[in-house]
């Protein structure tokens, strides 16, 4: 036994670590913190500090971009009274519909396409890249592209009139009953490659013998998909559900490019983030008045709501995955 060991096994105590080992371990710990410190500073300066500053700013009265006086919860009271309450409620339900549309339609289509690509194998890799291509485009570019396509007397109208399907120009973006669903469809087209990629990765991680056993037992493709594959890719469903929720309640780019900051027509496509933009940077009403205090209050509520719902969703799906396993 080494002579630099403080305690020995002969006296019934555990041997103490060698001083040299403790020094090396401490040096490794300091080196780890040295590598971590730059990233930690960037995280604190550009994420934690603005977030705390925004939460505290919601408790102050603002003149322009300067905080004037502490007002407590007055901004929250004003946000949920009068016309502001109607606009918040209207925008909130648009975000909810956006989330439902993306969660159901985008993820269902993504699951079906991923399963088809999984069954077909490597020969269909080209289609995987083809489906993912829109996801590499900026939402601003996607919104501008589809606004051009959907313009009355634009390319889509030309095709439909040429086929005799319609005789008059379509006004999908100018109709309050269809505009929101068109934007949701554009968002689904933009990000359809993501659920395909996530579900395909989940399916490829499963044991191939499971599907071979189902095939030998005579299970149909639909039964294999919904009764075998879907329960086994629950972690993928969890990931996509949370990402869909965050994406839906952060919608701004496509709405701004295709319908303007007012979320037209007549606020039919308004979302919480476009309402926040109008409050913080103008274009609210016809005189362009800004109200940073209200914007801070709306941002604080949106942050708390999204954090709470995302946390509860992760906990729910994790428990469900444990029950399935």
* pLDDT tens for each residue of 251-298: 999 999 999 888 888 899 999 999 999 998 876 554 567 888 899 999
Report the C-alpha gap between 133 and 131 in whole angstroms. 6
87 pLDDT more than 90: yes
165 pLDDT more than 90: no
DSSP 171: -
Tokens representing residue 85 in the block: 């309450």
What 3-state DSSP class applies to 265? coil
pLDDT at residue 301 in the model: 93
* pLDDT tens for each residue of 123-138: 777 887 888 888 889 9
CB neighbours (10 Å) of residue 94? 25
- Report the b/e string of 207-216 with b at 16+ CB within 10 A: eeeebeebee
Question: What pTM value is reported for the model?
Answer: 0.82
Q: What CA–CA distances, in Å, run from 25 to 5, 6, 270?
A: 17, 18, 56
DSSP 78-130: HHTSHHHHHHHHHHHHHHHHHHHHIIIIIHHHHHHHHHHHHHHGGGGHHHHHH
pLDDT at residue 277 in the model: 92
Region 185-213: mean pLDDT is 89
> Any residues with CB less than 8 A from the CB of 148 and at least 6 apart, and which?
154, 155
1 pLDDT more than 50: no
Residue 223: pLDDT band with limits 50, 70, 90: confident
Tokens representing residue 317 in the block: 């799906």
- Report the b/e string of 144-156 with b at 16+ CB within 10 A: ebbbeebeeeeeb
pLDDT at residue 63 in the model: 83
Q: What is the mean pLDDT of the chain?
A: 85
For the domain made up of 82-324, give the CATH fold: MetI-like fold (1.10.3720)
Residue 118: pLDDT band with limits 50, 70, 90: confident
Region 50-68: mean pLDDT is 86
pLDDT at residue 3 in the model: 46
Tokens representing residue 310 in the block: 């995302």
pLDDT at residue 12 in the model: 54
- 167 compared with 47, residue with greater pLDDT: 47
- 228 compared with 15, residue with greater pLDDT: 228
Phi, psi for residue 107 in degrees, rounded to 5? -75, -30
Region 226-236: mean pLDDT is 81
Counts of helices then strands in the chain (DSSP H, E):
17, 2
Domain locations in the chain as residue ranges? 29-70, 82-324
């Amino acid at each position: 036994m080494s002579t630099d060991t403080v305690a020995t096994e002969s006296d019934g105590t555990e041997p103490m670590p060698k001083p040299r080992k403790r020094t090396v371990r401490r040096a490794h710990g300091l080196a780890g913190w040295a590598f971590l410190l730059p990233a930690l500073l960037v995280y604190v300066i550009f994420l934690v500090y603005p977030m705390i500053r925004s939460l505290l700013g919601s408790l102050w009265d603002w003149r322009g971009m300067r905080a004037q006086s502490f007002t407590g919860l007055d901004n929250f009271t004003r946000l949920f009274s009068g016309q502001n309450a109607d606009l918040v409620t209207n925008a909130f339900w648009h975000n909810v519909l956006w989330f439902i549309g993306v969660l159901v339609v985008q993820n269902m289509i993504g699951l079906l396409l991923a399963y088809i690509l999984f069954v077909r194998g490597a020969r269909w890799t080209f289609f995987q890249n083809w489906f993912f291509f829109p996801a590499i485009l900026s939402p601003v570019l996607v919104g501008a592209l589809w606004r051009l396509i959907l313009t009355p007397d634009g390319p889509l109208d030309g095709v439909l009139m040429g086929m005799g399907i319609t005789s008059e120009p379509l006004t999908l973006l100018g109709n309050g009953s269809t505009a929101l669903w068109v934007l949701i469809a554009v968002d689904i087209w933009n990000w359809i490659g993501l659920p395909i990629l996530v579900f395909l990765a989940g399916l490829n991680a499963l044991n191939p013998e499971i599907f071979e056993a189902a095939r030998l037992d005579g299970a149909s493709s639909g039964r294999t998909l919904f009764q075998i594959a879907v329960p086994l890719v629950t972690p993928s469903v969890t990931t996509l559900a949370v990402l869909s929720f965050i994406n839906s309640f952060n919608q701004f780019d496509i709405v701004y490019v295709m319908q303007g900051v007012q979320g037209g027509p007549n606020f039919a496509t308004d979302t919480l983030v476009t309402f926040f933009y109008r409050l913080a940077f103008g274009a609210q009403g016809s005189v362009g008045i800004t109200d940073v205090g209200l914007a801070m209050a709306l941002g604080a509520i949106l942050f708390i709501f999204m954090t709470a719902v995302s946390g509860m969703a992760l906990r729910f799906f994790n428990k469900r995955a444990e029950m399935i396993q």
